[in-house]
Amino acid sequence: MTAVALSHLSKRFGNHLAVRDLNLEIESGEMVAFLGPSGCGKTTTLRMITGLIQPTSGDVLFDGESVVGIPTERRGAVMVFQKHLLFPTMNVAQNVGFGLKMAGVDKAETARRVTEMLELVELPDLESRKAHELSGGQQQRVALARALVVRPQVLLLDEPLANLDANLRITMRQLIRSIQHEMGITAIFVTHDQEEAVMLADRVALMFDGVVQQVGEPDTFYRRPSTTRVAQFFRNSNFLHGVRSGNVVSTPVGDIEVDPVQVADGSGDVILSVRPEEVKPVLAGSDAANTVPATVESVIYMGTHTQVVAKIGNSVWNVQTAAAFNPREGEEVLFELPKEHVWIVKDDSNSQPDAVKAS
């Protein structure tokens, strides 16, 4: 297993700074996702780690040793691409064993390891099939087996599931996570899919405009987003402006108490963020705190829950409630904002995010 460190890593293409001063430490055996919209720099970062492109500045270290300048084939990092890139004239066994053949591994050992790897990716008895005889999911499993059979120090995955249908993506996510755990390999992947990042990664590095904006375990992006952009990317678009004094924020719809853990930043103008599923309808006779008045604009029954769009102050909120809650359009209601789910975020909606250093 190998620890990976990215130190002040930057990449410029002409006048475009694709990755800017990226600092991140990835533990041995950890799976980390680079998540972000198209063009944010996540694939460029992956390609710098594997050596397909060289950084403009900064360093890539494996177990504390710089690998910048070391050819891709000697880094011990293997990449699985969005397109499987199987050799069409080779059968499955030949495709999986190609890297071993190039490394001079003898035929008996190659055959043994190929068989072992095909069993690991749940494709036994398909050694003689050609790529065009496989389904899309099977082809991607062969590509994964080809990467893993050489026993790399680091496994890199560039949106490997993007071309698969929804059901296959779920199956492949489970398979990749299971194999990564079983082998204990350090893995880094890029995706634009929040669900994929949350399901697979131990930690997520969210990128905007070539900059890592927030790094953490998946649940922190839902519970404690750092900025308005992060909150919006994770579908948490309920915001309320106010002025904080201690652990109380004065807003146009009343005072809102926040968790004291957030008080350290002092007082002043703030933006509150609350996820749709954490907004609670207030029942008659309730003594709930942190209640705000709202006007219902639309109601959609979703079977397992009700989706409500409501006006709170000058903001339009999305609220996800129990299916039994069924207000009428135009009705005045009260919602509770539980203080443990009210989070103060930085407003970066009109500016580029600042770089963060994470470890």
Same domain, 11 and 147: yes
Could you report the per-residue pLDDT of 120-144, keeping only the tens digit for each?
A: 999 988 999 998 899 888 998 999 9
Of 223, 255, 278, at which residue does a domain stop?
223
Tell me, yes or no, whether 85 lies in a domain. Answer: yes
Quick one: 282 and 179 in the same domain?
Answer: no
% of the chain with per-residue pLDDT over 90: 69
**Domain closes at, from 164, 188, 223:** 223
Q: What is the DSSP letter of 283?
A: P
**99 and 204 in a common domain:** yes
| Angle 24-26-30 from CA coordinates, rounded to 5° | 150
Asked whether residue 62 falls in the same domain as residue 205, the answer is: yes
Q: State how far Cα 311 lies from the chain centre.
A: 31
CATH of the domain at 21: 3.40.50.300
In a domain, 185, yes or no: yes
In a domain, 354, yes or no: no
The pLDDT, as a whole number, for residue 50 is: 94
* Residue 352, domain member (yes or no): no
Residue in 62, 28, 33 with CA at minimum distance from that of residue 46: 33
Is position 47 within any domain? Answer: yes
Residue 289 and residue 208 share a domain: no
Q: Are 177 and 202 in contact (CB under 8 A)?
A: no
For residue 135, give Cα distances in angstroms to 92, 121, 128, 205, 309.
12, 14, 15, 32, 42
Task: Report the pLDDT value the prediction gives residue 171, as an integer from 0 to 100.
Answer: 86
Tokens 């190659």 belong to residue: 110
Is the domain of 36 the same as that of 144? Answer: yes
Mean pLDDT of 268-274: 91
pTM value?
0.86
Q: Is residue 353 part of a domain?
A: no
Judge if 73 and 219 occupy the same domain.
Answer: yes
Higher pLDDT, 210 or 265: 210
pLDDT at residue 19 tops 60:
yes
Render pLDDT for 59-102 as a digit per residue (tens, 0 to 9): 999 999 999 999 988 999 999 988 878 999 999 999 999 999 98
The CATH code of the domain that includes 248 is 2.40.50.140
Position 263 scores a pLDDT of: 59
User: Residue 332: which pLDDT band, with cuts at 50, 70 and 90?
Assistant: very high
Amino acid, single-letter form, for residue 348: D
Locus of tokens 């652990």: 247
Residues 170, 22 within the same domain: yes
Domain count, the chain: 2
Interatomic CA distance for residues 319 and 133, integer angstroms: 47
Is residue 78 situated within a structural domain? Answer: yes
State how far the Cα of 214 lies from the Cα of 310, in Å rounded to an integer: 29
Q: Which of 215, 307, 184 is nearest to 25 (CA)?
A: 215
Which domain-ending residue is among 176, 196, 223?
A: 223
Boundaries of domain holding 234: 228-345
Cα separation, 74 vs 347, in Å, equals: 44
User: Is residue 242 domain-shared with residue 339, that is, in the same domain?
Assistant: yes
Query: How many other CB atoms are found less than 10 A from the CB of residue 245?
Result: 13
pLDDT confidence of residue 260: 79
Q: What is the DSSP string of 290-355?
A: SEEEEEEEEEEE-SSEEEEEEEETTEEEEEEEETT--PPTT-EEEEE--GGG-EEEB--TTSPPPP
Residues 161 and 278 in one domain: no
What's the pLDDT at 359?
36
**What span, in angstroms and rounded, lies between the C-alpha atoms of 121 and 140?**
10
Q: Do both 144 and 45 map to the same domain?
A: yes
Residue 206 tokens read as 């969210």
Q: What is the mean pLDDT of the chain?
A: 90
pLDDT of 6 higher than 90: yes
Whose structure tokens read 């705000």? 292
Contact 156, 49 (CB under 8 A): yes
Q: Name the band, by pLDDT with cuts 50, 70 and 90, for residue 266.
A: low
Tokens of 214: 């927030």
Is 359 a member of any domain?
Answer: no
> Do both 237 and 219 map to the same domain?
no
pLDDT-based confidence at residue 265 (cuts at 50, 70, 90): low
Mean pLDDT of 159-176: 85
Band of residue 358 on the pLDDT scale cut at 50, 70, 90: very low
Q: pLDDT by residue (tens digit) across 187-219?
A: 999 999 999 999 999 999 999 999 999 999 999
